[in-house]
């Protein structure tokens, strides 16, 4: 750690200012320490910052990234914040953490800054509204609410975060088997519909077909697959059904939303209910459908441990034909040293629920992380941090980030003609981002999440039914939320 803290930076600035006398632009040595999970999108940010960042205010700015291993990231940040360590000026955060740490007084409300700064306003308006809703607002405003309120900064909305890495679910699939003529013909013969091979085919794939794919490709060792004998069991499909963190919730929410059900909707507080909503018949049916496809997935599905990494590994080791996973986990699939299917993979939008009009609803739970500023910094540091935000969300930086495995949240960047070609999943990502919603942002989200994951896990491992699980979830949420006054 280059331990030059903010304070000494400021003192340096004072001395420097005194020496320069009347020079209007004050320049200072500023260090911004940023808590970041240790993975390529943040490593890129650091490297690219060192290579390109020029402070518009002439400051000598250092971005000091504290790279923390992903699995321990939450603990490290939470301990730092709640203990009042005040170590970080910027923090990469999951969108769900916004409530807890805003209420704790740790994350900086940027609404006034945005109001004062046209550049920031332009950025906020260029950000995809789904991302503004999920990554920036607390109390949480839905995309629909934001759009009704007018351009950012809208009155009555508090803004906090900016996308560091916006993430969505897309389908990773094996082009070699999905476009195999024999398999295609067999599938057609068996189900009377086509096996999705092209991107456009996947645009027309719903959960029903997803299940058919699963059934179709479930093969044992010794059977044939795309003209070759299988040495090991093979499975058609996998999506996440993991107990850890938010894994199964992310996938199940998509089913519930797509079928017209809902989770407890904090944006309608205090009128929104849990009981009767969370365990509505629609939600139960959606959850049952989610569970019904698990039988076609690799046996780890029975353990409740089939998380985003497990399905990625199963896919990369050639054990499964198609998976639904985060775009952020796409890079290794293309890396021949980690993946046996690096040259056989293609990407499409995630399946959805077919509506009455024949269109497909792909509503999903957004992934990825925003980053935020903290509350204990001087104006000078805050302003310089906002300079870093502007640098990060400039089209050049965003394009470079995308080319290096990142994703942009700026609509203008996503609309650039070269964008879809930068990475093979970009087209799917751009299509999917329009469908994104987010789970709760309230401080108690972890209590809701943990209990829900536990009940989901019981249903996934076959201990209880979908209805029992959702009933238990609804009862728990109703009681907890009434307790803290979020439900009247």
Partner 1 sequence: MAELATDNLGTQGAARGGFGAWLLDPKRRGALLVTPAITILFVMNIFPLMWSFGLSFFNYKASSPRVPSFRGLSNYERVLTDDKTWERFQTTAVIVGSSVLLQLIVGFLLALMFAKAFPLRRIVLMLVLTPMMLSFVSVGVFFKLFYEPTFGIVSYVMNLFTTEKFVMLGSPAGAIAGIVIADAWMWSPFVMLLVLAGLVSVPKYLYEAAEIDRASSWRTFWTITFPYIKSLLLLAILFRTIETFKLFDIVYIITEGGPGSSTETIAVFLYRNAFQFFQTSRSAALAYIVLFIVIVLTNLYLYAVNRRAQEAN
Partner 2 sequence: MARKYREIGKAGWGYTAITSVVGFIYFFPVLWIILTAFKTRTDALAVPPKLFFTPTLENFTSVFFRASITTGTSQATDMGLYFFNSIFIAFTSVGLALIVGTLAAYAFSRYPLRGNDTYLFIILTTRMMPPIVVIIPIFLMFRLSGLAGSYWGIILLYTAFNIPFSIWLVKSFFDELNPEIEDAARMDGASERRVFFRFCIPQILAGLSATFVFGLILTWNEFLFALLLTGVETRTVPVAMARTLGGEVGVDYGLLAAIVTLFLVPIFFVTFLLQNQLLRGVTFGTVKK
Enumerate binding residues for partner 1 (CB under 8 A). Answer: 75, 78-79, 81-83, 100-101, 103-105, 232-233, 243-244, 298-300, 302-305, 310, 313-314, 317, 319, 443-444, 446-447, 450, 454-455, 457-458, 460-461, 463-464
Query: Taking CB within 5 to 8 Å according to partner kind, which of partner 1, partner 2, none is near residue 344?
Result: none
Contact (Cβ atoms closer than 8 angstroms) between residue 180 and residue 227? yes
- If we measure between CA atoms, which residue out of 219, 218, 212 comes closest to residue 193? 212
User: CB-wise, 84 or 395, nearer to partner 2?
Assistant: 84
Query: Taking CB within 5 to 8 Å according to partner kind, which of partner 1, partner 2, none is near residue 44?
Result: partner 2
In angstroms, the CA 389 to CA 386 distance is 5
Contact (Cβ atoms closer than 8 angstroms) between residue 165 and residue 196? no
Token output for 215: 């059934």
Q: Residue 7, interface with partner 2 (CB under 8 A)?
A: no
User: CB-wise, 10 or 400, nearer to partner 2?
Assistant: 400
Tell me the torsion sign for CA atoms 400, 403, 409, 410: positive
Smallest gap from Cβ 239 to partner 2, in A, equals 15
Smallest gap from Cβ 56 to partner 2, in A, equals 22
User: CB-wise, 12 or 443, nearer to partner 1?
Assistant: 443
- If we measure between CA atoms, which residue out of 328, 323, 324 comes closest to residue 37? 328
In angstroms, the CA 321 to CA 300 distance is 15
Q: Residue 292, interface with partner 2 (CB under 8 A)?
A: no
Q: Tell me which of 11, 20, 79, 224 binds partner 2, using CB under 8 A.
A: 79
Smallest gap from Cβ 373 to partner 2, in A, equals 20
- If we measure between CA atoms, which residue out of 389, 388, 398 comes closest to residue 54? 388
- If we measure between CA atoms, which residue out of 245, 215, 212, 236 comes closest to residue 70? 245
Q: Tell me which of 267, 375, 394, 404 binds partner 2, using CB under 8 A.
A: 404
Q: Which stretch binds partner 2 (CB under 8 A): 65-73, 100-108, 112-120, 205-213?
A: 65-73
Query: Taking CB within 5 to 8 Å according to partner kind, which of partner 2, partner 1, none is near residue 321?
Result: none
Q: Residue 219, interface with partner 2 (CB under 8 A)?
A: no
Burial class (CB in 10 A: 0-12, 13-18, 19+), 78: middle
Query: Taking CB within 5 to 8 Å according to partner kind, which of partner 2, partner 1, none is near residue 329?
Result: partner 2
Query: Taking CB within 5 to 8 Å according to partner kind, which of partner 2, partner 1, none is near residue 458?
Result: partner 1
Q: Which stretch binds partner 2 (CB under 8 A): 66-74, 166-174, 176-184, 443-451?
A: 66-74
What SS3 state is found at 77? helix
Token output for 322: 């198609």
Query: Taking CB within 5 to 8 Å according to partner kind, which of partner 2, partner 1, none is near residue 37?
Result: partner 2
β-pair partners for 127: 410
Contact (Cβ atoms closer than 8 angstroms) between residue 76 and residue 38? no
Token output for 238: 């996998």
Say how many residues make up the chain. 488
CA atoms within 13 A on the CB side of 455: 24
Distances (CA, A) of 51 to 27, 48, 199, 397: 20, 5, 36, 11
Q: Tell me which of 168, 279, 312, 452 binds partner 2, using CB under 8 A.
A: 312
Query: Taking CB within 5 to 8 Å according to partner kind, which of partner 1, partner 2, none is near residue 21?
Result: none
Q: Tell me which of 29, 57, 66, 361 binds partner 2, using CB under 8 A.
A: 66
Residue with tokens 């994104």: 436
- If we measure between CA atoms, which residue out of 338, 330, 336, 317 comes closest to residue 368? 330
User: CB-wise, 14 or 72, nearer to partner 1?
Assistant: 72
Determine phi and psi for 173, rounding to 5 degrees. Answer: -145, 160
Q: Residue 429, interface with partner 2 (CB under 8 A)?
A: no
Q: Tell me which of 11, 20, 56, 75 binds partner 2, using CB under 8 A.
A: 75
Q: Which residues bind partner 2 (CB under 8 A)?
A: 1, 37-40, 43-44, 47-48, 51, 66-67, 69-72, 75-76, 79-80, 82-87, 231-232, 307-310, 312-313, 316-317, 319, 328-329, 331-332, 337-340, 400, 404-405
């Amino acid at each position: 750690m280059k331990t030059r803290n903010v304070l000494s930076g400021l003192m340096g600035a004072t001395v420097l200012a005194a020496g320069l006398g009347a020079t209007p632009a004050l320049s200072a040595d500023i260090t911004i320490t940023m808590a970041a999970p240790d993975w390529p999108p943040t490593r890129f940010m650091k490297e690219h910052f060192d290579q390109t960042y020029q402070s518009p205010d002439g400051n000598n700015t250092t971005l000091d990234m504290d790279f923390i291993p992903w699995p321990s990231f939450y603990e490290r940040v939470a301990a730092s914040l709640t203990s009042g360590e005040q170590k970080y000026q910027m923090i990469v955060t999951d969108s769900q953490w916004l409530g807890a740490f805003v209420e704790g007084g740790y994350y900086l409300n940027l609404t006034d800054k945005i109001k004062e700064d046209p550049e920031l306003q332009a950025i906020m308006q260029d950000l995809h509204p789904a991302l503004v809703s999920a990554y920036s607002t607390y109390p949480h405003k839905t995309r629909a609410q934001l759009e009704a309120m007018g351009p950012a900064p809208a009155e009555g909305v508090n803004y906090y975060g900016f996308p560091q890495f916006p993430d969505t679910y897309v389908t990773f699939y094996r082009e070699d088997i999905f476009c195999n003529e024999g398999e295609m013909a067999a599938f057609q013969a068996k189900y009377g519909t086509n096996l999705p091979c092209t991107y456009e085919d996947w645009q027309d794939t719903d959960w029903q077909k997803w299940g058919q794919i699963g059934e179709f490709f479930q093969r044992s060792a010794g059977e044939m697959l795309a003209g070759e004998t299988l040495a090991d069991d093979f499975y058609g499909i996998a999506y996440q059904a993991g107990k850890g963190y938010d894994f199964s919730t992310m996938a199940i929410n998509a089913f519930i939303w797509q079928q017209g059900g809902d989770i407890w909707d904090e944006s309608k507080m205090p009128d929104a209910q849990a009981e009767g909503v969370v365990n509505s018949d629609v939600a139960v049916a959606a959850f049952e459908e989610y569970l019904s496809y698990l039988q076609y997935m690799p046996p780890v599905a029975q353990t409740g441990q089939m998380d985003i990494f497990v399905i990625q590994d199963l896919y990369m080791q050639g054990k499964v034909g198609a998976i639904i996973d985060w775009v952020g986990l796409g890079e290794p699939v293309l890396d021949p040293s980690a993946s046996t299917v690096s040259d056989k993979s293609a990407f499409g939008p995630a399946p959805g629920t077919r509506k009455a009009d024949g269109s497909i609803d792909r509503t999903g739970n957004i992934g990825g992380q925003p980053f935020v500023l903290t509350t204990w910094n001087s104006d000078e540091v805050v302003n310089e941090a906002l300079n870093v935000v502007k640098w990060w969300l400039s089209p050049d930086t965003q394009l470079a980030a995308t080319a290096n495995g990142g994703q942009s949240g700026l609509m203008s960047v996503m609309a650039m003609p070269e964008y879809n070609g930068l990475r093979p999943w970009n087209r799917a990502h751009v299509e999917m981002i329009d469908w994104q919603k987010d789970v709760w942002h309230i401080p108690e989200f972890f209590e809701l999440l943990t209990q829900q994951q536990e009940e989901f896990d019981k249903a996934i491992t076959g201990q209880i039914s979908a209805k029992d699980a959702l009933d238990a979830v609804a009862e728990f949420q109703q009681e907890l939320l009434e307790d803290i006054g979020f439900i009247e």
